[in-house]
C-alpha cells in the first residue's frame, strides 16, 4: 500500500452483506471508502472490481481463487466474515503476501447454548412427542423423560465450545466430565477423564466438540458407540466426519442409544435445492438441524466486529495475529517511529540482506520483529522518526526475494 494514501483513500470492498458492525467499526477508525455489496459477485465482475481494492471482506460464497487474486494487484488483506476459509486459495494469497483473517470463535456461545437445549430435549424425548402430536397422537407420559440435573454430561474436546458448554451445564446441576487429547484446565467442578472409553461409559449424554482431523474421523464408530451406556444420547455439533453414520443408525435402531442430536453430517446438501440424504433421516428420536449450530444474529454481529478489527489492526499497526495463512506477529503500537514491514521469500541470507540495508542507511532501529511460516517471512522494523522511510522502502522493494513492503508513519 502506498504510504502517501490517507485512510479514506484506502478502498474497502465488502461483499455478501457482512454485518453492519463491520462498516461501523471501519468508519469509527477513519476508513470511509467502503463499497458494500449485498451479494457475492460473479467471477468476471469480481475480477473487474477487485483491481483497485486494498481490503476485501467476503463470506462463504465468494470464491477467491488464483485467477481472481492475480487481478487483485493492490490487495493488502482479506477478511473472511465467517468461520471457514475454504473458499480462499490460502496458498496463492500467502505467496502474494496477502494475509487472510477470519473469526473462528465468534459463534462459540451460540453452539454451546444449542447443545444445552438439545441435551434437555433429548433427555425429555420432546421431539418424538412433538412429531407424534403433529400426527394427532397425544403421548402424555413421563416414560423415558428425565431432568438433566444430576446427570452426567460427557464432553469430547474441551476447547472453546466444550469448556463454555461445561460452565452452562454445571449451572444446570449436571455432572460434567470431559476428555481431551491436550491437558486442559477444568472449569468449575468439571472433571477430566483419561480416555474416551471411560468418558463414554459414564455419560448419560455425550457431546462432541472436536475438530475434523485424521484422528477424529469416525471416532464414534460401532466399537466406541458400544461403550456408551444403554439408553444414553449422542450430540454432534462439531463436524460430520466424526461419526460413522451407519453405525450410529444401527445403535439407534437397536435401542442401545435412546436418541441423538445432529447438526453436521459427512455429506451436507450444498443448498436449498439439494436433498438431504442420511441413514438417520426419518428417525424421530434424532433431532436434525441443517448446520446452524453457530448461526445466530449475535454470532454474525461478533464476526462483523472481530474481522473488521483484525483488518484495521493489520492496516494501522501491521499485526497479523491469528491470520490463517501467514506468519503471525503480534506487534506493539509504535510511537515516534516509522514502521517498515517487509514480506519476503523465506530463504537463507534474506535477513542479513535486509539488516544490511538498515545498517548501511545508518538507521537507528528501535525494534525488530520477525516470523516465518513455510515459504515466506514477515519482518517488521521500527526506525527513528528522523529517518526518511522511503529510502529504505525502495531498497527493500528492490531486494531479490522481497514480495511486498509497506510503511506506516
- Where along the sequence are the contacts to ligand NAI (CB under 6 A)? 83, 105, 107-108, 111, 156-162, 179-182, 184, 209-213, 215-216, 237-239, 263-264, 291, 293-294
- What is the secondary structure of 77-141 as a DSSP string? EEEESSS--TTB-HHHHHHTT--EE--TTTTHHHHHHHHHHHHHHHHHTHHHHHHHHHTT-----
Rounded to the nearest whole angstrom, what is the least distance from the CB of residue 376 to ligand NAI in the complex? 25
Rounded to the nearest whole angstrom, what is the least distance from the CB of residue 305 to ligand NAI in the complex? 17
Rounded to the nearest whole angstrom, what is the least distance from the CB of residue 40 to ligand NAI in the complex? 20
Residue (242 or 380) nearer to ligand NAI, CB: 242
- Catalytic pick among 268, 284, 328, 404: 268
Q: How, if at all, do strands 12-14 and 34-36 pair?
A: parallel
Q: Go through 315-338 and write b for each residue having 16 or more CB atoms within 10 A of its CB, e for each that does not.
A: bebbbbebbbbbbebebeebeebb
Residue (33 or 218) nearer to ligand NAI, CB: 218
- Catalytic pick among 124, 187, 256, 291: 291
Residue (236 or 405) nearer to ligand NAI, CB: 236
Residue 291 annotated to the active site: yes
Residue (294 or 389) nearer to ligand NAI, CB: 294
- Catalytic pick among 239, 338, 339, 344: 239
Q: Are 15 and 39 in contact (CB under 8 A)?
A: yes
Strands (E), 311-375: 337-345, 365-373
Residue (80 or 331) nearer to ligand NAI, CB: 80
Question: How many helices, marked H, and strands, marked E, lie in the chain?
Answer: 13, 16
Closest-approach residue to ligand NAI (CB)? 159
Compute the distance between CA of residue 309 and CA of residue 314 in angstroms, rounded to an integer.
9
C-alpha cell at 384: 527513528
Phi then psi for residue 291, to 5 deg, are 55, 55
Rounded to the nearest whole angstrom, what is the least distance from the CB of residue 55 to ligand NAI in the complex? 25
Rounded to the nearest whole angstrom, what is the least distance from the CB of residue 176 to ligand NAI in the complex? 15
The residues annotated with a catalytic role in the active site are 239, 268, 291
Amino acid at each position: 500500500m502506498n504510504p502517501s494514501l490517507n485512510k479514506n483513500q484506502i478502498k474497502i470492498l465488502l461483499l455478501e452483506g457482512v454485518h453492519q458492525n463491520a462498516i461501523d467499526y471501519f468508519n469509527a477508525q477513519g476508513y470511509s471508502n467502503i463499497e458494500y455489496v449485498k451479494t457475492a459477485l460473479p467471477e468476471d465482475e469480481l475480477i473487474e472490481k477487485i483491481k483497485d481494492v486494498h481490503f476485501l471482506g467476503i463470506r462463504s460464497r465468494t470464491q477467491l481463487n488464483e485467477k481472481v487474486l492475480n487481478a487483485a494487484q493492490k490487495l493488502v488483506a482479506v477478511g473472511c466474515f465467517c468461520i471457514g476459509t475454504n473458499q480462499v486459495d490460502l496458498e496463492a494469497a500467502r505467496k502474494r503476501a496477502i494475509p487472510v483473517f477470519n473469526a473462528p470463535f465468534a459463534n462459540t456461545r451460540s453452539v454451546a447454548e444449542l447443545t444445552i437445549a438439545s441435551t434437555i430435549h433429548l433427555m425429555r424425548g420432546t421431539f418424538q412427542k412433538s412429531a407424534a402430536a403433529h400426527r394427532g397422537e397425544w403421548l402424555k407420559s413421563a416414560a423415558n423423560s428425565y431432568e438433566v440435573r444430576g446427570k452426567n454430561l460427557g464432553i469430547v474436546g474441551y476447547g472453546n465450545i466444550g469448556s463454555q458448554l461445561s460452565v452452562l451445564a454445571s449451572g444446570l446441576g449436571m455432572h460434567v466430565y470431559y476428555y481431551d487429547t491436550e491437558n486442559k484446565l477444568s472449569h468449575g467442578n468439571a472433571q477430566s477423564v483419561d480416555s474416551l472409553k471411560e468418558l463414554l461409559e459414564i455419560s448419560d449424554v455425550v457431546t462432541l466438540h472436536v475438530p475434523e482431523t485424521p484422528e477424529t474421523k469416525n471416532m464414534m464408530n460401532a466399537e466406541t458407540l458400544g461403550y456408551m451406556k444403554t439408553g444414553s444420547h449422542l450430540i454432534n455439533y462439531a463436524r460430520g466426519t466424526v461419526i460413522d453414520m451407519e453405525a450410529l443408525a444401527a445403535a439407534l435402531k437397536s435401542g442401545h442409544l435412546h436418541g441423538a442430536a445432529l447438526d453436521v453430517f459427512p455429506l451436507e446438501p450444498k443448498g436449498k435445492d439439494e436433498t438431504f440424504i442420511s441413514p438417520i433421516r426419518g428417525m424421530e428420536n434424532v433431532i436434525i438441524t441443517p448446520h446452524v449450530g453457530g448461526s445466530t444474529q449475535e454470532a454474525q454481529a461478533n464476526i462483523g466486529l472481530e474481522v473488521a478489527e483484525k483488518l484495521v489492526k493489520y492496516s494501522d499497526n501491521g499485526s497479523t495475529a491469528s491470520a490463517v495463512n501467514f506468519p503471525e506477529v503480534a506487534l506493539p503500537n509504535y510511537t515516534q517511529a516509522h514502521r517498515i514491514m517487509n514480506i519476503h521469500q523465506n530463504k537463507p541470507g534474506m535477513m542479513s540482506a535486509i539488516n544490511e540495508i538498515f545498517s548501511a542507511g545508518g538507521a537507528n532501529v528501535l525494534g525488530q520483529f520477525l516470523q516465518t511460516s513455510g515459504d515466506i517471512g514477515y519482518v517488521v522494523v521500527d526506525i527513528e522518526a528522523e529517518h526518511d522511510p522511503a529510502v529504505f522502502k525502495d531498497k527493500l522493494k528492490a531486494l531479490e526475494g522481497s514480495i511486498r513492503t509497506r510503511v506506516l508513519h
